[in-house]
Structure 1
């Protein structure tokens, strides 16, 4: 049973939301951050980059304190308002490619995360969880929802469609050419129906945001242990999420780039590869695989197709069917000597939303020796891996939609 509840968001006023909303901080170049901080006094980047005015090098707890101060200033200046009653927020994104995402921003239960009613499919790094937990604890709010997905539900879809007939509270297009819309679900009957429909669901799945959800759970554990009057109703029992139906989720692959052939010559490498794959040289013509267990490879100015010799590979778990895992077990680890995908600086990743030609460009630049492309994982694969309690290799999925920070804020 999924406990997905409404909450009172702190959010920008309608006239300033397009100025406040920002992408994830890591997605900007240093120059882009500088220009936004210089030219847009309302950008949420001023909150998460709080030392811009006088202390650019501040880090750790001192930085967290400045983040909280900038956030309080935005509230004091009337840039942010807080809704008067707990609300669900219907959120729609139409991206530059014409993809449409419809979902609900709400609060998901940390207890559900603990009990595995919110299923995970990716490993997290403990030190990152702790750092972000300490950040959340210091600043007291969360501004970027975890992306969760649930089985398509006709009742929830009907409510979303009904709400979207009204004028949206927000409607803005970003410089990235994505258009965002948000509506408040304010009538009690719809709120109760949404909550009841989620409670019927035995499982929901994390699509994107494993570190954020893990950190929110650690925060819940900390604050619960520090509160002698804990009653399970406190805001820290939940974390902000954006829930979309499985049919709306869009998954791209991450392609792999490797800096060297692990001391092998090109011929030695291809001979070792031949043990696992049928290899066809495609020459200069770009090749992108269209089926599971088929890979593209770009090496020494030429494309290759690689078809797995299935008689040699054992499919024992859902994870074994995942192409990112298959590539690791047959090439990256045994041939190229990359055992630790998280920390080895010989491997890099480029998301498959970029064309396969992006792999070619990276290799042709001389920074990498070989590149591999694959087809995306499916929602069903992701769910099966999570249901079996297994975890994907890092950078197995590039998931859309990507939300903006600062549009809705959840205070702990």
Structure 2
């Protein structure tokens, strides 16, 4: 089972100004978004986390060192965990209160078990996160893990010491420090008692493995901070997860040819342009929607069409199009999908349903992998609330 350890977290000293200092994860920011956050404050985390210019990585390293030296960032007095609470109202109008814990999650070799992927990943040629880790010698944003051990939510119910709060677009992010040795030990023991499933951040976890191996080669040691990586871990239970769908966009195939291919396994019927109500109906009635530039089709699986395929919309589409040349990309958000098709950035799109928590649990327990981009966990965690020195 993976080790989950406390560490002396780096935090902003100006806890009353966090709105100007933290930001969404780097991989959801456009360059224009990043520049907006840079303009908020000379100390906004994006200055570190989204380097720009030819010497951007080295500048991030120097900046992180300067912020620690001048007291912009301060380290906890000793090893701690951080409870991270997210409070919001979901799309169905239900108030949600999610709680996870930030600590150092053991970096294990691929296939070794303990820390498990939950979906196949798409290749990433960029060395951006690895170059940034080398330059800063720090984890700036957490991997998102799901603990298979039961009882974590209850263990995190008692508040810790408040160390920051940010509200953004109806979502409240609250962080609390846990320094009490007994409680720290209890959290470490529980998370480390069963597998942890990576929900988001497969690429970052892979980068941590490369960096760990580099440190081992350079030092000959296996007891450095590089043996773990920054991770937010929540319990894998329905009331602690908010899962959205990541839809499919298709190119390299016309909408007509895509429809013809899908008709081999789906019954199709023309419908009105999809709305948020359509997404709810898809979940209730079990169908997908093909979006063309000026028409949409309901896709109901034909009886027996997917007997040999897992009951995942992404897997169904892979099976239906396995022998058809095409290119697929991934996009969350109904409006974003319809805009991409309307503007000609995609020939067609397919709206799929969110993966159920039960299927995520099954994936973990059976050590299976979902198709790429099967799940979109929301709300996204803020970068900058907790940093981990390496």
Q: Contact 1:44–1:406 at 8 Å: present in 2 too? A: yes
Shift of 1:362: 3.2
1:105 has 2:102 as partner: yes
Within the candidate set 185, 191, 207, 2:184 is matched to: 191
Shift of 1:244: 0.6
Could you say which residue in structure 1 is the equivalent of 2:373?
395
* Cα distance in 2 between the residues matched to 1:371 and 1:159: 42
1:365 has 2:343 as partner: yes
Provide the secondary structure at the position in 1 that maps to 2:308: coil
* Cα distance in 2 between the residues matched to 1:109 and 1:3: 5
Could you say which residue in structure 2 is the equivalent of 1:273?
262
- Equivalences for 1:160-179 in 2 at 5 Å? 160-164=156-160, 168-174=162-168, 176-179=169-172
- Equivalences for 1:292-303 in 2 at 5 Å? 294-303=287-296
Could you say which residue in structure 1 is the equivalent of 2:85?
92
Residue 89 and residue 114 in structure 1: after superposition, are their counterparts in 2 closer, same or farther (change >3 A)?
farther
* Cα distance in 1 between the residues matched to 2:340 and 2:384: 34
- Equivalences for 1:9-408 in 2 at 5 Å? 9-13=9-13, 14-50=15-51, 57-58=53-54, 62-95=55-88, 97=90, 98-111=95-108, 115-124=112-121, 128=125, 131-151=128-148, 153-154=150-151, 156-164=152-160, 168-174=162-168, 176-201=169-194, 203-228=195-220, 230=221, 232-247=222-237, 248-259=240-251, 261-262=253-254, 266=256, 270-284=259-273, 286=275, 287-288=278-279, 289-290=282-283, 294-315=287-308, 320-331=310-321, 333-335=322-324, 337-338=325-326, 344=327, 347-351=328-332, 354=333, 356-408=334-386
Residue 158 and residue 366 in structure 1: after superposition, are their counterparts in 2 closer, same or farther (change >3 A)?
closer
Residue 127 and residue 171 in structure 1: after superposition, are their counterparts in 2 closer, same or farther (change >3 A)?
closer
* Cα distance in 2 between the residues matched to 1:384 and 1:357: 31
* Cα distance in 2 between the residues matched to 1:128 and 1:178: 33
Q: Which blocks of at least 5 consecutive residues in structure 2 are unaligned? A: none
Provide the secondary structure at the position in 1 that maps to 2:249: strand
Q: Contact 2:215–2:226 at 8 Å: present in 1 too? A: yes
Shift of 1:404: 1.3
Q: Contact 1:101–1:401 at 8 Å: present in 2 too? A: no
* Cα distance in 1 between the residues matched to 2:385 and 2:146: 20
After superposition, give the CA deviation of every residue in 1:183-224 in whole Å (9 maximum; x if it has no partner): 1111111111112222322x1111110001111111112211
Shift of 1:96: 6.1
Shift of 1:172: 2.3
* Cα distance in 1 between the residues matched to 2:105 and 2:126: 18
After superposition, give the CA deviation of every residue in 1:262-308 in whole Å (9 maximum; x if it has no partner): 4x7x3x65444322111122244654312586211122522221111
After superposition, give the CA deviation of every residue in 1:230-281 in whole Å (9 maximum; x if it has no partner): 2x3311111110011112122111111224644x7x3x65444322111122
Could you say which residue in structure 2 is the equivalent of 1:3?
3
Q: Which blocks of at least 5 consecutive residues in structure 1 are unaligned? A: 52-56, 339-343
Q: Give the superposed CA RMSD.
A: 2.6
Larger radius of gyration: 1
Q: Compare 139-148 and 376-385 and name the one that shifted more.
A: 376-385
Size of the alignment, in residue pairs? 379
Q: Contact 1:292–1:375 at 8 Å: present in 2 too? A: no
Q: Contact 2:149–2:190 at 8 Å: present in 1 too? A: no
Q: Contact 2:293–2:347 at 8 Å: present in 1 too? A: yes
Q: TM-score, normalised by structure 1?
A: 0.83
Provide the secondary structure at the position in 1 that maps to 2:158: helix
Residue 129 and residue 118 in structure 1: after superposition, are their counterparts in 2 closer, same or farther (change >3 A)?
farther
* Cα distance in 2 between the residues matched to 1:127 and 1:269: 27
